[in-house]
Amino acid sequence: MSFNLLIVDDEPDMLQLLKRSLEPDLDCHVRTAASGEAALHQLSVQPFDLVLADIKMPGMDGMELLEVIRRTYPGLTVIMMTAYGHIDMAVEAMRAGAYDFITKPFEHETLLLRLEKALERQRLIQENQRLQKQCRDDGSFHCMIGKSPSMQRVYETIQMVAKTDLTVLITGESGTGKDLTARAVHALSYRQKGPYVAVNCPTVPENILESELFGYRKGAFTHATQNRIGLFQEADGGTIFLDEIGDVSPSIQTKLLRVLQEKEIKPLGDVHSIQVNVRIVASTNQDLKAKIQRQEFREDFFYRLNVLPIHLPPLRERAEDIPLLVNHLLEKHCRELKRPLKTFAPELMGILQRRHWEGNIRELENVIVQGILFSPEDVIRPGDVGLESERVRSAGLDPQLHTLPYKAAKESHLRHFNHAYIGNALVECQGNVSHAARLCGIERQALQQIMRRYDINAEKYREG
């Protein structure tokens, strides 16, 4: 993608040489200025991505120009040029806010490399500014929705920790968006072009989790008929997300501690360790310090994980975000379910904002899906999602049922109940029917029969 470069130098030959050589090699538009004053005029009439300026110039020199740019265009990246004998001035310029400096005479390839690095920095600054504006305008941040002060703090923390390569521990109740947070950390990090591998730790049996994470060698155990790389190797150069780390066994904790300390893994059946370049982001909905007290979680492992903590607030503590979330999720699921766009009745919106939301955003999303599917009109009302007013609910009545024959009313009530109950179970198990059956305390085949009867599709609860 082409960009705009402003070159400032009092030597006309240097300006023409740089313009002719840099435009084709960097795919950029070069504008030139023979003085600091001329450069400020150029900056006032069009936007630039980078400024390359000489320090020694008559009139307004490069240092004065830098000071004005830093004050007037604070997000603009500036590289200074200086003769070999004036390196001290270049160092002073960097202290004053210049991104880099290059000494004359310079090799063309060296200059290209410096400019490309500066351009990458400028693009990151511009992307950060764009994201911040987007957050202010519509309350969204990397698929996370919310304009409340608590969510703004979360966004700021994500942006801060993403710039490092340290381990991150995301805490919060189920359904608060820990996976989205981990993805945002990866997307904003320098590893963004590398792989992102998510591991749902509780869903993988302990005897399988170790081989999944670290891989194995042929013959390491029965049925190990060939070598297999683990998820840590798949994530090399990127990020691995260990979801619900509080559920892993002490033996797995010990092996993960070694990865954090040594940056290496040992596949099952191998005598040699393998170096891995992976950032670990973990999450939990549990109180790990309480688990440490019960000797269920290693203290040294906890402190290795909890280098950069991010805590996600529960939905009940940011009720002002619920209208934003509802509108976003309504649009998303109406589109996915191929239904006309619906709205929520004001009464229902008030009920949603007062609700406790044990399942947080995941539970809210489930209610919205039910409303889209079951509301007979374009407006979703409390009775469509089983959230009648307190007066009606205290009487144990659905305000719509009395208009139906007994059998039809009973069937409608059962349909609402099964979609709500089984839907919540599928949300918790991310669409895994076997796990949902165990959670409900019934056989898998029985659950499948109920799902077929009431048109409950497990696919829409699965991630990805």
The pair of three-digit structure tokens given for residue 257, joined into one six-digit string: 């501690």
E strand or H helix that includes residue 303: helix 299-305
Has residue 141 been placed in a domain? no
Structural domain boundaries, residue 282:
147-313
Q: What is the pLDDT of residues 311-346, one digit of tens each?
A: 999 999 999 999 889 988 988 898 888 888 888 887
What pLDDT score was predicted for residue 405?
67
E strand or H helix that includes residue 354: helix 346-354
Q: What is the pLDDT of residues 204-255, one digit of tens each?
A: 888 789 888 998 888 777 777 788 888 999 999 999 999 999 999 998 999 9
Give the HSE-up count for residue 173: Cα atoms under 13 Å, Cβ half-sphere.
13
- Which CATH number fits the domain that encloses residue 183? 3.40.50.300
Has residue 114 been placed in a domain? yes
For the chain, the domain total comes to 3
> Residues 206, 252: one domain?
yes
CA distances from 322 to 285, 357, 364 (A): 21, 11, 9
Distance CA 137, CA 194 (A): 30
> Residues 153, 76: one domain?
no
> Residues 291, 337: one domain?
no
- 416 closest CA partner among 385, 440, 442: 385
3-state secondary structure of 49: coil
> Residues 60, 87: one domain?
yes
What pLDDT score was predicted for residue 398?
53
> Residues 234, 259: one domain?
yes
Indicate if the pLDDT at residue 402 is higher than 80. Answer: no
> Residues 336, 270: one domain?
no
> Residues 14, 91: one domain?
yes
